[in-house]
Structure formats: C-alpha cells, structure tokens
Amino acid sequence: METVRILDRSFRLYLSEAEIQQRVREVAAQISRDLEGKNPLLLGVLNGAFVFAADLVRAVTIPAEISFIKVASYEGTSSTGTVSNLIGLNESLEGRTVVIVEDIIDSGLSMTHLVEAVKAMNPADVRICSLLVKPGNLKVELDVPYCCFRIPNDFIVGYGLDYDRYGRGLRDIYVVTEDGH
C-alpha cells in the first residue's frame, strides 16, 4: 500500500516492512554483541513499542528477558515537574542490565522521566533502544545507543505507532502527507 487513510488524514509509505526488519536485525545484533553475558532485561514501553519489542526480542541472539510497562505521568512536587510511575513492573531491577525499548523519541521528555524512574530502582546499567528518533525535536540531551532510524519532524504512523489510537497494526511505517488530506 503506497498510501493509507486514517480518520481525517492521509499518509504515504515511508519505511517498508523489509527496511524495518533489516534495521531491527542490525540493532538486535548490536545489542547481542554489547550485552553478551549480561542477561539483559528488555523493557518495552506500552502501547507503542509492542510490535518493535516483539520483533527485537526474537532477533536478539543472547539470553534476554522481556517485560512491558506502562507509564503514567503526573505533575509531581519534585523540582523536575513531571514524575513517571511505572505500571506493570513485577520484577526487581536491582543489579540488572535494563534496555528500555521505545517506539519513538520526539522531545525526549518522556524518555528522560522514564530513565529517571528506572534508575531509581537500582539497575546496574540502563540503555535506551528506540525504533525512531526525531533529532530535530529533542529538547534534552539523550544517549540512544540503539536506534533503528533517525527521521525528520514529521508525524508518522504504523508498526505499533498510532494516529489517535488507529494505525498501530500497519506492517510498514507511513508519514502524514503535506496537506494532510
């Protein structure tokens, strides 16, 4: 499919399933090399990362665990403003090598809060893995050692990412068309 329509918007093909799968395999190989012997815990961030995390864990060639979390953000009283609560995490992160698996990093603020919340649980190491990064929108400095694609600031959908809750099941990634209609 070259173009798809979701709700009131049109999207055109941006990254094909084959291109995505290729990059996921490469990043999985990188993780497998770097974290051999570390028994990493891949921590997928719901909802958006569910497709990416499923492909990534099947492409990693070292022993690894996978778990999923949801993030509930609220305005806290800390000096940083927003506090992230991790929902659904049953295992201890103490001493673990944790790889946070995200769909997309835009401003980077969600990820910054998430890393903070994960670090508070005393892991040995926390690394970020994101399918997509929009470097042009980053408002904070973030080290993303595992990134499949760096993309412009356009709105994209598919492969787990949604437009107003739709489009997550698309096998390819699509970008909104310029006029949007």
Say how far apart CA 132 and CA 105 lie, in whole Å: 6
Say how far apart CA 97 and CA 21 lie, in whole Å: 25
8, 34, 103, 106: the catalytic one is 106
**Span 99-118, contacts to ligand IMP by CB under 6 A:** 103-111
Give the type of residue at 109.
L
Please tell me whether residue 48 binds Mg ion under the rule CB under 5 A: yes
Q: Are strands 146-150 and 156-157 parallel, antiparallel or unpaired?
A: unpaired
Using CB positions, name the residue nearest to Mg ion: 48
Stretch that binds Mg ion, among 11-19, 92-100, 101-109, 120-128 (CB under 5 A): 101-109
Stretch that binds Mg ion, among 17-25, 43-51, 79-87, 168-176 (CB under 5 A): 43-51
**Span 102-131, contacts to Mg ion by CB under 5 A:** 103
Say how far apart CA 100 and CA 82 lie, in whole Å: 19
Task: For residue 106, indicate whether it is catalytic.
Answer: yes
Please tell me whether residue 44 binds Mg ion under the rule CB under 5 A: no
CB closer to Mg ion out of 40 and 48: 48
Q: Are strands 65-75 and 82-87 parallel, antiparallel or unpaired?
A: antiparallel
